Amino acid sequence: MLKVKIYTIGRCKEKWLSEALSEYEKRLQGRAELEWHLAKDDAQLIDWTHADPNLIALDPKGDLFTSEAFSLKLLQAGSRLSFVIGGAEGIPPKILSQAKRRWSLSPLTFTHQIVRLVLAEQIYRALEIDRNTPYHK
């Protein structure tokens, strides 16, 4: 089973977002587990991520993939992964410099809350691509 830690800033304030994230967590049951770490600020985010050997920074300037390529990269990266999503000012440079990889979900700028949802959906999509289901078609 894929175990994914997701480090980000702030709480999930929107009910629709909580419901959407819950839906993807339900769809992922038995195949992937999402573990959310919601920091109160950049200092806490730095503290939590400093020793993580599998950290992937979600950065608009990172490597950009198609969904199929994202699926391959995700599955090749190992069974225990960690993603970090920055706050309004982006990911602190200290975290960017220690991240094992930098991936982009889009060159567009999104709120950290939207990135949570896009990441959860793309993890689900990646696993569906691997299973060759019609979800991705």
> What residues make up the domain containing 68?
2-136
CATH at residue 105: 3.40.1280.10
Q: Are 96 and 102 in contact (CB under 8 A)?
A: yes
3-state secondary structure of 104: strand
* Distance (Å) of CA 89 to CA 59, 109, 133: 11, 11, 38
* Residue 90, strand partner residues: 87
Number of domains comprising the chain: 1
Pairing of strands 101-104, 55-64: parallel
Q: What pLDDT score was predicted for residue 25?
A: 97
- pLDDT in the model for residue 10: 85
Q: How much is the pLDDT for 12?
A: 76
For residues 122 and 67, give the distance between their C-alpha atoms in angstroms, rounded to a whole number.
Answer: 7
pLDDT tens, N- to C-terminus, the chain (137 residues): 999 999 999 877 789 999 999 999 999 999 999 999 999 999 999 999 998 999 999 999 999 999 999 999 999 998 999 999 998 889 999 999 999 999 999 999 888 899 999 999 999 999 999 999 988 76
pLDDT attached to residue 14: 85
